[in-house]
Amino acid sequence: MNIKQTDKKYIAGTYGRFDLALVKGKGSLVYDENGKEYIDLGTGIAVNIFGVGDDEWKKAVEAQLDAIPHASNLYFTEPCARLAEMLCEKTGMSKVFFGNSGAEANECAIKAARKWGLVNKGEGYSTIITLKNSFHGRTVTTLAATGQDGYHTDFGPFTEGFVYADAHDAADVERLADENKCCAVMMEPVQGEGGVYPLSKEFVSLVLAIAKEKNLLVITDEVQTGNGRTGELYAYMNYGFRPDIFTTAKGLGGGLPIGACVFGEKTADILTPGSHGSTFGGNPAACAGACSILSRIDTALLDGVKKKSEYIISQLKNAKGVEDISGMGLMLGIKPVRPKAEIIEECMQNGVLVLGAKEKIRLLPALNIPDDLLAKGIEVLKEALAKC
């Protein structure tokens, strides 16, 4: 059997894969089993932020594989301490918990927020306000946190204690805060899986005021928006505030699994010995790679992200077959006139990989994608969009 047949026979049927098997890649180019080349505008869903197999990242990981690839959290290891230090120094936050995925990072934030509610507000102050159309992960609790009915079937009973506010209506947040014993409000600055919708600055500033008045923690889910993706190191920085907790994953590892829950002053000491853990969390090889990634997300790179973003928007804004563009930085959603599936398929045939999100085409290219490859990729997308 070939790769595709074996996969179909033995892999649990949770993924609707495209008819494409990738065998290698470098930077923003990936190759299938027949040697066909593709320009990658999806980066493994915002993971390969410096492209596939970035040299510096690879060197850092390889050096750590030679030193000690895994040790357990019973002992100190250098890469996770260095990575946590760098995360805190670059954000003004205080402490970090490492897991292996976005869902795990969010689970940690949810546990910490509930314990904070118990300690600071009293028994029962455990409800977390999340937003409609959000996405927070696939575990039973992060599915419950996800504000989309479609995710709340088949696997119940789900974790209690989540209420969902309209992402355009701060009055709804206030109402839910009054009606429930709440500890926190949790939001993606740009709703990714929900269709690449940035929260408005006005909505965010009203939510911050409500959180302050009602003594609620503010949690941002930066799993997709984090690590330079939106043109700032973390997307909350576009809104001019600092959350009490933020979570991140995807791009932080540059291609290896890692998730981080990052605590500000108010929440830094909420989790105590034995209250949380993860066998692989803070894995030295993943953290060594992440240190290499995070250390290179600097002003010059972020300026590049903004320029590339402007380029894409200028190319597609008034292009034929485009109804609308939304997003921030190199996290962009294009609403096509044609069904998105046809466009994704046609781009793939013409050697360009793009993603979908709800009814949109979603672009998440490498933050350092060379301008000529980006231009070529956008040209192919433009042609596919125009056939409507």
- Given the rule CB under 6 A, which residues bind ligand PLP? 101-103, 106, 135-137, 188, 192-193, 221, 223-224, 249-250
Angle, alpha carbons 249-284-229 (nearest 5°): 25
Q: How far is the CB of 223 from ligand PLP (least distance, A)?
A: 4
Residue type, 256: L
Contact present, 49 and 43 (Cβ < 8 Å): yes
User: How many CA within 13 A on the CB side of residue 6?
Assistant: 4
Q: How far is the CB of 370 from ligand PLP (least distance, A)?
A: 26
CB of 130 or CB of 174, closer to ligand PLP? 130
CB of 54 or CB of 188, closer to ligand PLP? 188
**What ranges in the chain are assigned the alpha helix state H?**
3-10, 43-46, 55-67, 78-91, 102-120, 140-145, 170-179, 201-214, 284-295, 299-316, 340-349, 371-386
CB of 107 or CB of 174, closer to ligand PLP? 107
Q: Is the dihedral of CA 50, 55, 58, 60 positive or negative?
A: negative
Q: How far is the CB of 137 from ligand PLP (least distance, A)?
A: 4
Q: Which residue is nearest to ligand PLP (CB)?
A: 102
Q: How far is the CB of 75 from ligand PLP (least distance, A)?
A: 26
* Pair of tokens at residue 222: 């930066």
CB of 174 or CB of 222, closer to ligand PLP? 222
CA distance 347 to 384: 7
Phi-psi region of 82 (alpha: psi -120 to 50; beta: other; left: phi over 0): alpha
Q: How far is the CB of 249 from ligand PLP (least distance, A)?
A: 5
CA distance 113 to 379: 46
Q: How far is the CB of 23 from ligand PLP (least distance, A)?
A: 23
Rounded alpha-carbon distances, angstroms, from residue 189 to 33, 57, 106, 236, 299: 38, 27, 15, 6, 20
Neighbours of 134 (CB within 10 A): 23
CB of 106 or CB of 133, closer to ligand PLP? 106
CB of 259 or CB of 264, closer to ligand PLP? 259
Q: How far is the CB of 354 from ligand PLP (least distance, A)?
A: 17
Q: Is 54 exposed, middle or buried (0-12, 13-18, 19+ CB in 10 A)?
A: buried
CB of 321 or CB of 356, closer to ligand PLP? 356
